[in-house]
Structure formats: C-alpha cells, structure tokens
Amino acid sequence: MTVNMKISINKKILAKNEEFALQNKAFFAEKGILCINMISSPGSGKTTILSRTAENLKDKLRLGVIEGDIQTDTDAAKIRAMGIDAVQIETKGSCHLSAEQVGKALSQMKSAELDIVFVENVGNLVCPSSFDLGEQTRVVVLSVPEGDDKPIKYPGTFAKADILLINKIDLANYVNFKLERVIGDVRVLNPDVTIFEISATTGEGMQAWYDWLLAQRKQQ
C-alpha cells in the first residue's frame, strides 16, 4: 500500500467521522447540552476526576457520562453507582472513540434531560485528538508522574485542548516534574488554553474546576 493510498483512506475515515460529529454538535446545540471530550494517557486519573466532579456537582447539574475503553465496563459501573447516567463504549481494540459511537451512546441515555455530557475517551495521547466527537470543549489531562516533557512530545493533543487539567499535583514532591516547564511549553503550542492544577484524590484545586463548569453551564 502506498503512502498516498493510506492518506486518502485516512481522509475518508476522518470525513465520515466529521459527518457524525456535526450531527452530535447539532444535537447538543438543540438540547442546550455542554459536551466535554476528555483526553489523556492511560492512568492519568480521568475516571477519578469524573467521579469526584459528579459527586460534587450532581445536585447542581444534570450530568451524563460516556465512557470509552478498549475493553471492560468497570468505569461506567463506577459512575452509575453514584446515580449518574453512564454508558460504556468498548472499542474492542480501537485507540479512540468515534463521533458515530458517541451518537449511539447518546441515544441510550436520557440525554435530552442533561446539562453536561462528559465523554471519557480511550486512554491515549495520540489517536483521539484527530477525531472530533462534536464536543464544545476538549479537556486534556496530564498527570504529574507522566513527566513534564509530554506537551513537546505529543504537541497535537495539547495544541487542541481548551482546558488542561494538571492532575496528581499531590505527587509533585516525589517526582521530578517542573510545572513551569509544562505551562510554558503548552502556552507556546496553545496560548488560549485554560489550566487548572488539581489532585482528584486529595481534592486540591478542584473547586476552581467545578466553578468553571458551573459558569460554562450558565452561558449555555
């Protein structure tokens, strides 16, 4: 297979995805739903961030969660146990969610009654960034133990973030991680990104993230 053939196939897959993304976007606009696409490496803490956020905001906002994983539905089960509407998508090997999968998941939720739908993408710093799901807001999570070189190594993902959550700041004393380097490198790639420093485990810094979510909701 030539490189040109591969590029043309990739373009077709992306164009097909874009059609479904536009459908999702129209649905969110019509229903007044804020959709947030969460992207990160495996193990950066997305599920813990979502659990803690849901726990804190579930009486103030109507939340829904779409969980993407290669396999298992443990993440959705965790969220459902808190009384939150959650659907699991098992990608069975694919390294990202597609807009079509998200559209199907939305049809399985009481989505018309929600304020915010969080989509937890497959743990991956590469593939998900090319696939628009129709979301209004893209959140990238970087956890401190992953290292401060990730923005320059995975620039595509960090360049497209609306929000950067720097998670596990409670571990900053135990690893070599220069916060100012991360912030500097990300600002070069993406001057407009909003950055929150948090620990979803200890709760440190989470209030600013909750306030941001509440403020966004009011703007809808």
Q: What number of other Cβ atoms are within 10 A of residue 33's Cβ?
A: 22
Nearer to its own copies, 206 or 213 (CB): 206
Task: From 29-37, 81-89, 124-132, 212-220, give the range in contact with its own copies by CB under 8 A.
Answer: 124-132
Q: Does 16 bind its own copies (CB under 8 A)?
A: yes
Binders in 144-203 for its own copies, by CB under 8 A: 145-147, 149-150, 152-156, 168, 170-171, 174-176, 201
- Rounded CA-CA distance 150/213 in Å is 26
Residue nearer to its own copies on the CB measure, 111 or 129: 129
Of residues 19, 32, 72, 203, which one binds its own copies by CB under 8 A?
A: 72
Q: How far is the CB of 168 from its own copies (least distance, A)?
A: 7
Q: At 4, list the tokens.
A: 């040109």
Question: Please, are residues 163 and 193 in contact by the beta-carbon 8 Å criterion?
Answer: yes
User: Is 125 among the residues that bind its own copies (CB under 8 A)?
Assistant: yes
Closest to 70 (Cα-Cα) out of 43, 45, 91 = 91
When the beta carbons of 12 and 58 are compared against its own copies, the nearer one is 12
Using alpha carbons, select from 29, 56, 8, 5 the residue that is nearest to residue 220.
Answer: 29
Identify the bridge partners of residue 75 per DSSP, sorted by sequence position.
none
What lies within 8 Å, CB to CB, of 202 at 6+ separation is 170
Tokens of 90: 């098992």
By the criterion CB under 8 A, which residues form the site for its own copies?
1, 6, 9, 12-13, 16, 41-43, 69-72, 74, 93-95, 122-127, 143, 145-147, 149-150, 152-156, 168, 170-171, 174-176, 201
